[in-house]
Structure 1
């Protein structure tokens, strides 16, 4: 996907997030982010948008700071920050040189992709908090989110995390021509863009549902599992990628 395709998602996802968060109320608990309220979720998303915006404006990620807005201004700052972020990324060129937390040859594309998926998954969190139903993702966007998680994040984020036993996990969306295999063991975690034979657990479903499942935002009953069912529990416990607890 091109950067513009990701940027086209930031505004709509922010609007959906705002709508669900308003419906839920700031004090509502976010079931997919234990310990979080909707207030903390919106604050977090707002801060993430502004942190990338600061990078694009020449800031240093190591010294970035952000004063959280009061409740009465929270949604306005979220919306305006998302719009400014989108505009800044649209104005940037592909040779833009800014910091990224994973290796990339095109930081503009990296941040467009990351912020689109960041906003999208936190929109899901807001909708889960509101208990109003989760808006389905476009299959292509969802498949890209799976790819980002399974190829880029799993190996880098969890390389140092031990697993109780080795396993292989195959992920196959039924509405997109794509698939992935995650292999985990004492030596670490690796992923490839193919479904290999003999996976210990296969997970099938619509790309939108698999995207949420892999991010621990959907239950096993929302996808189809075949093989060693305990690996689904292992995924949730060992490869937990939910939001971190807020700092004091």
Structure 2
């Protein structure tokens, strides 16, 4: 069960505010250790563009947005002002919309709620990036948000049901993802996709499905750790040894192959 819309809205506000505070303490040219191709100002502009884009998605719902790149301001002061404006617009649009209303997204779920959830987690992860860039301790998120972040990473960012015409083949048994602080266990089925999407994109390769069983499943392997650790590990914001692995090594390898690509 997902957290409430109110928790997502609060998280979006708090994580965005922490992001701005942290990135403001980093020199403009400081390298983002978790995204080494970016400087601190690149990170700031990235989240500005993301939040501005999704504010427009919600404002013009359910129409598909017209992507128009904004002009990057010169200097840290102007960049921070642009972020403040974009972030306020996103929160304003989301708090005035019903999460169940239809709205465009790049995913199977086409609702305002998708944007609300996705942007709360986007702000969380980039707040982590900003704190690391500024040399600050990483702030622990709300446990329910981190718990949901693991589910979102597995079901949206890495997995999800394949589109029509794409075949999914399991390659091992079930792998459990156990969150030691919240007590939640997410059940996953690693496998592989084969086939070409309608737009011509070849989706063949490792994949993982987030299962929704009515009863606990018999898992052949497990990944475990606190929710915030597993969430950051899936997003490649922690080293490979941050989580505990137990069980069938082939199943662990299949799971890790599916979640190997880095997400920005």
What's the TM-score, normalizing by structure 1? 0.83
Contact 2:175 2:255 in 1 (8 A): no
Q: Which runs of 5+ in 2 are unaligned?
A: 194-206
| Structure 2 match to 1:154 | 158
3-state SS of paired residue (1:177): coil
Correspondence 1:176 to 2:182: yes
How many matched pairs?
Answer: 239
- Give CA-to-partner distance per residue, 1:88-143, whole Å, 9 cap, x none: 111113453321111226x1211111111001101111112222221111111101
Take 1:239 and 1:182, find their aligned partners in 2: how far apart are those partners? 15
Identify the match of residue 191 of structure 1 among 189, 210, 221. 210
Take 2:139 and 2:253, find their aligned partners in 1: how far apart are those partners? 24
Take 1:153 and 1:211, find their aligned partners in 2: how far apart are those partners? 12
| Structure 2 match to 1:55 | 57
| Structure 1 match to 2:199 | none
Give matches, 1:121-132, under 5 Å: 121-132=125-136
Contact 2:31 2:39 in 1 (8 A): yes
Correspondence 1:241 to 2:245: no
How far residue 219 of structure 1 moved from its aligned partner, in angstroms, is 2.2
Contact 1:216 1:236 in 2 (8 A): no
Correspondence 1:88 to 2:109: no
Identify the match of residue 32 of structure 2 among 17, 30, 39. 30
Contact 2:131 2:137 in 1 (8 A): yes
Give matches, 1:34-113, under 5 Å: 34-58=36-60, 60-71=64-75, 72-94=77-99, 96-104=101-109, 107-113=111-117
| Structure 2 match to 1:17 | 19
Take 1:113 and 1:6, find their aligned partners in 2: how far apart are those partners? 6
3-state SS of paired residue (1:104): coil
What's the TM-score, normalizing by structure 2? 0.78
3-state SS of paired residue (1:150): helix
| Structure 2 match to 1:246 | none
Measured at CA, do residues 131 and 103 of structure 1 come closer, stay the same or move farther in structure 2, by a change above 3 Å?
same
Measured at CA, do residues 125 and 143 of structure 1 come closer, stay the same or move farther in structure 2, by a change above 3 Å?
same
Contact 2:23 2:40 in 1 (8 A): yes
Take 2:227 and 2:251, find their aligned partners in 1: how far apart are those partners? 22
Contact 2:172 2:190 in 1 (8 A): yes
Q: Which runs of 5+ in 1 are unaligned?
A: 244-248
- Give CA-to-partner distance per residue, 1:144-201, whole Å, 9 cap, x none: 11111112222249998x9xx767542111122321233323344322146643434x
Q: How much is the aligned-residue C-alpha RMSD, in angstroms?
A: 2.9
Take 2:186 and 2:147, find their aligned partners in 1: how far apart are those partners? 10
Take 2:11 and 2:102, find their aligned partners in 1: how far apart are those partners? 23
